[in-house]
Structure formats: structure tokens, C-alpha cells
Structure 1
């Protein structure tokens, strides 16, 4: 995907103060998938990696972010682990300290003041779903610590990849004149040509895998038909949330077969035309209709 390639290129080539990339887009456009693909990419040009994936229904305590990142970095670097163990042994209260104190001890001091870590190669830190962590104050505190770090320590080996929705307080933070030198913006637009092309590629690849794995489909058959793939792509309209749901529904091992599952989805699309309805005002309308169809098939207890 083009966005993935741009992120990897930024990680490899960013220099000076501008070592933070903000990936921003509405719910469902595939930000988390991009973050995951970056983390798992064999072309990732880093010597160490740590990540936090925030979720409303899962990990959402932003005050534990620095500790979480530090633990992962310690697991991947013996030198970093020794530095952190020394600091915690000397002051065990660090584990309960404020985020600014933890950031100083677990990020700034190791990567700026320790020559072995400062020159050991590029380090990537991923923070996904920032808008879903505990409070707006915590979100802004995390951003402030990172942006100040980038600006005050331009020789740092640490690169930051941050994904969020365009919430007002986050957008306002990144609009500040004193913050703009620290980052580049990667905006994922719903219904953009690039997003549509990425969704089409995803659907094509996933449906091919389903066909090859299914006992009820001839691996050499023309399934799905191009017109059906086009219809799915148009319905998704750049939303990876829709495309992922479609694939999970078709792949469901408890269902009759992929052909009937795909037929169900096409019927949902045909019965919920978006003609005359601005997609920017109702980007999740077809996804809602698909969820309704899925739930209608759940037996009553």
C-alpha cells in the first residue's frame, strides 16, 4: 500500500527535529491495520521497536504507556535493559512516577545520554489509537512529551509513528506553531482514490485466499466475478472496517459456504443504495446495514 511505503520511507529517512509522523483519519479507514503492517514489515529499517495499541474496549490507560514501551524495549535490547534495571534498582518509585519523570528516565536519558544506545541504530515507537486512551489531558501530555523530545533532541535515534482520529483537541495540538517542526502528517481520506485502490487490493487478495482454502470452490474458477468485486469495493468506499467485516463474514467456517455468504453481502448492498446520500455524512451506513444482516442470523437463546 502506498501509505505503508510512505511510512516506511519516513522511518528510514527522517532527520533532525521532524521524527514524528501523525497518521490521521476517521474511524474505519484502516489506521490500525497500517500500524500493524509497519510493525510487521520485513523492510522495517530499525534495530528496535516498541508499540502501544490503545482501544476503548481494551488497553486504554495512557498513564502506563511509557512503562509499556520501556518494557518492550528492554526485551529487545540488552544495553537498554541494563540501563533501566539500574535506574529502577536505584529508585523503585519510578514505576509509579508521573509520565514526565518516566519519559525522562526511560526515554531521554537512555537514548540521548547513553552513547551505546544513541549510536546503536534507529528505534521506532508506535502509538496507535491515541484518541482512545484514558483522557484528553493524558493524550495531550503524551504528545507534548514526544514533540518536545523531537525538537530538543534532533540527533535522537527514536522515530515516532502516532495514529489517531482527527479529534478537535488532537488536531489543535498539531496545529501549534511550536509543534509543526516536529512532525509530518499522513491523512487518510475516506473515498480517496488511494484508499479505494488499497481496499480493492485487500479484498482481491483475501477473497483469493478464501477460494483457495474452500472445499466448495474450484481454485481455478472466476470467483468472485469482477462485477461483484467492484460492487464490494464501491460499498467499502475506502473504509477498511467494511472490507475486514466482509472478509470475516465470507470466511466464517460456521456458515454454509463462501458463495452464499458473498451473496448475502451483495443483497445487503443492493437493498441499501447510497444514491443521493452523502457518504461523508453517513460513512458507516453500509457497514451498519451489514452488521444488521449479521446479527439477524444469530439464533435467539
Structure 2
């Protein structure tokens, strides 16, 4: 079996399809299952069955509140940072894809994200770009929250209620935002518990304003992946190997949590093709045992 066929055969066990999530019974699953140390937006998701969290039943007035809260949330996202089909995602929950400029990281990541989207897998993709002014660190987790809220009914109910009670949550620091939009819903409320994992990809972390903020985001995500391995989120971070970022990933509290795929610039026309680089990425992942054999 070729690597591509092997990967395609492996994907359904990791990413639930739209039909699978609607028709199949819920069961515990893994995203990048059996991986050793994984950062992926454009998805259709359904509410998780069960009563482990409160569900809001909307009257006409409540619908107005929901629209207001979603509008408030949207004001704080990083504009145009979300992936769509026409524009440019050790622990099994965190993967670092790294390499120098012009090596093709974003092309590979975009190819991977588009492949998942076309295959109806569930993906959140945030593309960070300093030249395009999509580099506000305080918009990262809000952007993720907004994209999740537009696709997961139960998560939207949670966010709307939290913002209705305290709109100032959007002005919190990175730690407070991460607690509100990631830790609380997925570990306390247990949204998505027992289902397949959702992938969240941050592409271009090194483009984010503020070196300290870049490193804090790595620490927040890696700690979450380590402390909550059963949470339904898997993360991919793509960036250049900038000094502070590399040192953060090598920190003793982080280095055992993630898997790394290092991409080098190859002066070969064949490898300038995103699909070819996608094959290289899969080959590296396969050799590092992050793809089950």
C-alpha cells in the first residue's frame, strides 16, 4: 500500500466525517492516535449528545442575544485569518511544523487543510500574517472561539451565555482567554467528550506580534495538551525556527509533549510543488511513528 493510500485509510479513524458524526454512535476516539508528541478551519460540526453541559433553548429574545454576543465576539477576531477553500492548520495532541522562510510550510499546511476539508474532516485553520496585519496575539484564541462557535451548536451556546454574563471576557489576557474559550468548555463542561477530536492549526506563529506572547501561546497549548490528553482538541503549530520559539519548544516542561516535523529547503523543482511537499511531510510523520503503521 502506498503512503498516500495508507494515510487516506488512516484518516477516517482520526477525523470524523460529517455523516459519521451525525449517524454513528459516540465513542472515545483519538486525533493522531498513538502519536508521539500534534497545531488544524472550515468544518461542519454537530452538538455533542448528552447533558454534560447546559443547552440554551432560544426564544425570539434569546436569538437576539445570541446574535449580539456572536457579533461582539466577531469584533475581536483576527480578520481574514481563517482558512477557506479559496484562500490560504511526547503527545498526540501537539505537532510543531518548522522550517525557514520560503521552504513551503504554509503551502504544505494549506494542502493538508484543504485535503481534510474536501474529505469532510473537521478543521480550524488560523493563518497569521504580519504584512497583512493579521498578527494581534489577543485575537488568536478569540478567532478560534468564533470559528468553533459558528460550527458547534453546544459551544456556541456556551460562548453566548458566558459573554452575556461578562462581555469583558474579550478584554482578558491570553491566559484568561484560553481558560474561558478552551479549558472551561472542553475540560469542565466536557463539550465533545467521547467523540472524535477537532484539529486546530496555527500557521505562522512567528508572525505574531510580541515574542513573549508567541512563547506564552506555546506554553498554554502544550500545558493543555499534557494535562488534558482526552480533550477533543489536537493542535498543529507551524512557524519558522526563531530562537525564542525553538528555545520554548526545548523547555523541559514542553519538549516531551510535542512531535516535530522539520522542513528543509530543497533546491529541487519537484519539491516546490505543495502536493510533493505534502508527500514529504507524510513520509516524515510516518517515519516518526505519528502515523499508525
1:117 offset after TM fit, Å?
1.9
Q: 1:10-62: CA deviations, max 9, x gaps?
A: 94325684410000001011111122122211488886422211112110111
Larger Rg: 1
TM-score calculated relative to the size of structure 2: 0.61
Q: 1:262-292: CA deviations, max 9, x gaps?
A: xxxxxxxxxxxxxxxxxxxxxxxxxxxxxxx
SS of the residue corresponding to residue 23 of structure 1 reads strand
Instruction: Say whether 1:78 aligns with 2:153.
Output: yes
Structure 2 Cα separation of the partners of residues 202 and 128 of structure 1? 17
* 1:46/1:125 CA distance change after superposition, 3 Å: farther
Q: Which has the higher contact order (CA 8 A, sep 6+)?
A: 2
Q: How big is the alpha-carbon RMSD for the aligned residues of Structure 1 and Structure 2?
A: 3.1
1:53 maps to which residue? 127
1:71 offset after TM fit, Å?
0.1
Structure 2 Cα separation of the partners of residues 79 and 91 of structure 1? 19
TM-score calculated relative to the size of structure 1: 0.60
Deviates more, 1:34-43 or 1:169-178: 34-43
1:112 maps to which residue? 187
2:78 maps to which residue? none
* 1:122/1:45 CA distance change after superposition, 3 Å: farther
| Structure 1: segments with no counterpart, 5+ residues | 204-237, 239-301
* 1:21/1:202 CA distance change after superposition, 3 Å: closer
Q: Is the 8 A contact 1:70 1:106 kept in 2?
A: yes
Deviates more, 1:97-106 or 1:32-41: 32-41
Moved over 3 A (4+): 5-12, 14-18, 42-48, 195-198, 200-203
1:13 maps to which residue? 33
Structure 1 Cα separation of the partners of residues 117 and 171 of structure 2? 36
Structure 1 or 2: more helix by fraction = 1
Output aligned runs, 1:89-104, within 5 Å.
Answer: 89-104=164-179
